[in-house]
Amino acid sequence: MNNVNWIRGTVGQKNGPPHCSFFIIHCTLIFLLSGCLSSKEYLLTSQTIRGNRTISSEALESLIPQKPNRRVLGLPITPPLWFYQLGLRRYNREAALKNLQDKTNEFEQQSQQLANDPKALKALNRRYSRQLKRLRQKAEEGNWLMRSLGEPPSYFVEANAKANAIKMQKYLSDKGFFNAQTRYTLDTLRRRQIRVNYLIKENAGFYLRNITYQIADPRVDSIVRQSFDQSRLHVGDRFDFDNMSGERLRIESLLRDQGYYAFSRQYIRATDVDTIRRGHDRRFFQGLEPGDSTRRSVDIALQIANPPGQSAHPIYHIGAVEMHISSSEATPNGAPAAGTIADHDTLRRNGISYLLGERDISLRLLNSKILFRPNQLYSQTNYRDTQRQLFLLNQFKFVNINFIDTTNRRLHTLITATPLDKYEATAEGGVTGLLYQGQGYPGGFGSLIFRVRNMFGGLETFETSVRFGLEAQTGFVPDPSKPDQSVYTSQELGISSSLIFPQILFPGGIRFRFNRYAPRTQVSLSFNNTFRPDFQRSLLRATMAYNWQTTSYKQFSFFIADINLINAGDGTNRVISDAFKVQLDSLTAQGSTVYLNFFRRSLSSSFSFAYTHNTNIPGQNRRANFLRTVFESGGTTLNLFSNQKVDAWSQENGGIGLQLYKFIRTNIDYRYYMPVRNRATLAFRVNTGMVFGYGPNNQVPYEKFFFAGGSNSVRAWLPRRLGPGAAFPSEAGHPDKPAQTSTGQFVYLFEQPGNILFEASAELRGRLFHLGADVNGALFIDAGNVWRLSNNSSRPGSVFQFDTFIPQIAVGTGVGLRFDFSFFVIRFDGGIKVWDPVRKYVDSEKGLVNNRFILPEFSLSKLSKGPNPLVINFGIGYPF
């Protein structure tokens, strides 16, 4: 049975009556459906929106507060609802409320007994707050099964559907479709389920023809008219109420930056919205004449009124400016405790008074962060930038800026700040794991971080950390004494120190141009040592970087120096290390230069520039973009010398014994996030880059190569084991024969570096249930590969070529689970191969083999042993 209800609206007229025959049918259907609903409650199964052409369905869906119960793959299968009903059978709401009340009374009685003992009362509050929170949650949301795995039933209420249709009609009118019509139909399904279909008829939109401003204050009129090029309203655009609101907000911000501290958008009114040919539209919708679909126009007038009883808006200037940095005994809201400030001397600089609370802080730096000055016009932008810059110093817990209106419209500005602890130490730790051929290998890491704030009185932050890790990693060669063992234990010990200055350290006045952009200079020094059975590698790194942020979503980073000294040598196991050397000698004979990265000392230096545009806010499910571009030039100063000279310096005999590099590297990473439901997001990513060396032998530092495969890349491949191109892993001594197990699974012992990277991913993320944390599911598909730039006759298919690279793009798919604890996310992804480009080759016995479409080779009975095994990836945070 179907129920149909029309909602129709126009500007300046009442809804016309529907045709008589339709009215009778409508009432009959209402009567029949109401008879059904009076005896049974119907579940809201789904809601659809149809007929809209200009306005997106996503925008209209956001107007519907009712959400159907979640289903599996669109089928009428609702496990969360089943869990809820199962938990409801064992739930007694009256008993839960009684337990909550009893515990509350018990807490109040004990609180009264401990009223004179603050320490015991604090402990009592802490203990009972946890208990009361659990009991309150059970009384309001049900038992554990109902809250964590269940979802309450979503019942259909026809009044809600009618209200939603009215809201859609109003929304369409606000978007310029003044004559829009909305209606809904109801489809009854099996098992007391209903589907609501919202049908939209936008009709012709109205477009801006004339825009007039009526401004009573001459000075305000001059300011606004000079900013018309920034207006949100443009002749020829479709009427949009959001643009009207945006224009009011723009004018408010514009005037508040010009001294109008008390100005509010409430003074801005749309005094007239006049639609052209309104009478014609009325006759058209009443069916008295056919009408047409030509463009309709609207004239609008914006009026900026003066305050009541005044001839102009008041203009405010900044009066006295004070900054109070509280001592340790500060009130909770960040204001100084009474009686503590007067004991300290007042310092002055550039018209600002400072009460530093016995702290040695550079007034010059504080001045550069505070943008207010006496006699200056009030500016809302200065207020926001000052608060943001003081907060980004990472020196204060709280920063509050208050204005007190004194005589003659002068604002006494008081900035209060509560400092963070000068010394801070934190410890972190975690577990890691590697799943290889069906067997798990655990690992772990720990770190200790020590931080000193305002170290030299210039608001600097000094930070040093020590990290130790014990992790399982796949080896490059198996243990000769244990051929089946390819997983080793890797130990990593590292220490790093950095000093962050809240300014650009650069001679001359150019550094002051960055004062508004939260500038930082970071100088770092780190040492990292890796111990493995097959090799040992240490890295000494020194960097100096400038960072600044023009807006909350635009960041810049300029590394003026990045120097890396790498020392490599024998591993901790002599037998495995010697076998690794033999393998490297074999690769060298085939033209590879990978040996330089494991048994040669090297020195690389570079500078780089990075730009990041990020509108994604964690925890908010809305459309967002992420773009990061990086350009890096290595060994630039070596261009002053010939390649022959650089090569001579790199020689171990007669030179300095350090391999030197000259290279160029670029990388572009773009991500797009699109919400599809309230708790579901479709995320896309494209990541590409290129690196090439132009020094002796065109060498590139191993750390600067690109790699594919792993938890943040193509997840159906092991970390760094995909590629290059269509080159397959070959057996030792047999470069034309793939290395594979007896089950047909290719064996990737070495990491596969490449000069060119291309990756693309799409992932559907959604909440499944709550189990101590939000458990989210994911369905993903990844594609990508890396390629080399130089030809290698021993590895055909590894070089990037425009006519062959598309079929060389590997494809994988899979599912994942994410445990979201708000402050961090634990992720498990399982991926299988769909298209493996290396599985097209010429076998000496079988001839041409082409098994690139490998998805059919996946089998649940051979999850880890078959030719297409399930690859489990563990990660912290989302992959992108």
- Residue 268 has what pLDDT? 93
Amino acid at 790: S
d(C-alpha 72, C-alpha 148), whole Å? 18
Q: How many CA within 13 A on the CB side of residue 245?
A: 5
The number of beta carbons lying within 10 Å of the beta carbon of residue 105 is 10
What proportion of the chain, given as a percentage, has pLDDT over 70? Answer: 86
- Residue 329 has what pLDDT? 43
Beta strands in 810-880 (DSSP E): 810-820, 825-835, 840-843, 847-850, 871-876
Main-chain dihedrals φ then ψ at residue 768, nearest 5 degrees? -100, -55
- Residue 313 has what pLDDT? 95
Tell me the range of 20-34, 588-602, 764-778 where mean pLDDT is highest: 764-778
Report residue 386 CA to chain centroid gap: 26
* Mean pLDDT across the chain: 83
Structural tokens at position 572: 């901790």
Sign of the C-alpha dihedral computed for residues 385, 387, 388 and 391 taken in this order: positive
Question: Tokens 């030792």 label which residue?
Answer: 732
- Residue 220 has what pLDDT? 95
Per-residue pLDDT reduced to its tens digit, 310-347: 999 999 999 999 999 886 544 444 444 433 334 446 88
Cβ-based burial of 824 (10 A; exposed 0-12, middle 13-18, buried ≥19):
exposed
860 falls in which pLDDT band (50, 70, 90)? Answer: confident
Structural tokens at position 305: 């009124």
Helices 158-174, 20-39: axis angle to 10 degrees equals: 130
Residue 655: left if φ>0, alpha if ψ -120 to 50, beta else—which one?
beta
Residue 697: left if φ>0, alpha if ψ -120 to 50, beta else—which one?
left
Per-residue pLDDT reduced to its tens digit, 798-847: 899 998 999 999 999 999 998 888 777 888 999 999 999 999 888 777 77
Per-residue pLDDT reduced to its tens digit, 364-397: 889 889 999 999 999 999 999 999 999 989 899 9
Per-residue pLDDT reduced to its tens digit, 867-876: 889 998 888 8
* Nearest CA-CA partner of 561 in 604, 611, 620: 604
Per-residue pLDDT reduced to its tens digit, 386-429: 999 999 898 999 899 999 987 789 999 999 999 999 999 999 87
- Cα angle 562, 567, 569 (rounded to 5 degrees) comes to 155
pTM of the model: 0.76
Report residue 95 CA to chain centroid gap: 43
What is the pairing mode between strands 347-349 and 43-50? unpaired
Cβ-contact 661, 669 below 8 angstroms: no
Q: Which residues of 639-652 are buried (b: 16+ CB within 10 A; e: fewer)?
A: eeeeeeebbebbee
Structural tokens at position 742: 């007896």
- Residue 171 has what pLDDT? 95
Quote the radius of gyration of the chain (alpha carbons, Å). Answer: 34
Does pLDDT of 349 surpass 60?
yes
37 falls in which pLDDT band (50, 70, 90)? Answer: very low
* Nearest CA-CA partner of 304 in 245, 252, 241, 354: 252
Structural tokens at position 768: 């499944």
List % helix, strand, coil for the chain (3-state, nearest 5): 25, 40, 35
Per-residue pLDDT reduced to its tens digit, 191-225: 778 889 999 999 999 999 999 999 999 999 999 99
Cβ-based burial of 704 (10 A; exposed 0-12, middle 13-18, buried ≥19):
buried
Q: Tell me the mean pLDDT in the region 738-767.
A: 87
Does pLDDT of 486 surpass 80?
no
22 falls in which pLDDT band (50, 70, 90)? Answer: very low
Sign of the C-alpha dihedral computed for residues 96, 102, 105 and 109 taken in this order: negative
What is the pairing mode between strands 520-531 and 535-551? antiparallel
Cβ-based burial of 762 (10 A; exposed 0-12, middle 13-18, buried ≥19):
middle
Per-residue pLDDT reduced to its tens digit, 663-688: 999 999 999 999 887 778 999 999 99
The number of beta carbons lying within 10 Å of the beta carbon of residue 627 is 15
- Residue 582 has what pLDDT? 81
* Nearest CA-CA partner of 578 in 533, 621, 544: 533
278 falls in which pLDDT band (50, 70, 90)? Answer: very low
Does pLDDT of 14 surpass 70?
no
Cβ-contact 207, 178 below 8 angstroms: no
